[in-house]
Structure 1
Amino acid sequence: PGLGQLSMLQGLYLNSNSLRGSISDHHLSNLSRLRYLYLNENPELVVDISPNWLPPFQLYEIHLSGCRLGPRFPNWLATQTDFSELDISNAVISDAFPPFWRSLPSNL
């Protein structure tokens, strides 16, 4: 089955797999139970999410370091309010921090 058909999926752990290509909001749109997203350390992976996309999930852990998330800051991160871990280092973001960034908990 395709990734979007795994509607019961709670954790997507694809970190450090030398993935190439892109993953889009289309791939993630049916994953309403997703809580853990690990796509980190895949430098050839493009995370191609539409600017106005509203994810159907609330993530607890978000690890997107070392993949191509930018150059714009991903707006969909503003919808994630339950996470305790966020790593977007080295994710090719050249945009300014958006206003919602100031309201994030200081313990992140």
Structure 2
Amino acid sequence: MGIQDIIEGKKQWRAHMARVKALPPDYQIVYKEIQRYFFKVGPIDLLDGSLLSGIVDFFGEGVAAGKGVLELIGNDVAAFCDDLVKDSRTYADIYQESIRGEPGTAEK
């Protein structure tokens, strides 16, 4: 990864966060909780994929429809997050494999 890639990544992240800050306060709070959850246990390709930007798009549609954020995702933010990444490999999976000593994980 070169310096240009890092600079471009920062530009993209700042643009993404500007979109988040344009959301109503209740949406911003829930987005930050989702982001925190994903950064803790999230999928391996979280930053390379479009998951977080897709959530901002989804939230933007909810705002346009006049819905509250909990009407969109339900009352359990963690359950919403788990449903989004249920078929993705997560860092938590890798950690569990490494402490169980499954072949081809921690020894690499």
Q: TM-score, normalised by structure 2?
A: 0.24
Structure scoring higher RCO (CA < 8 A, sep ≥ 6) equals 2
Higher strand share: 1
Higher helix share: 2
Q: TM-score, normalised by structure 1?
A: 0.24
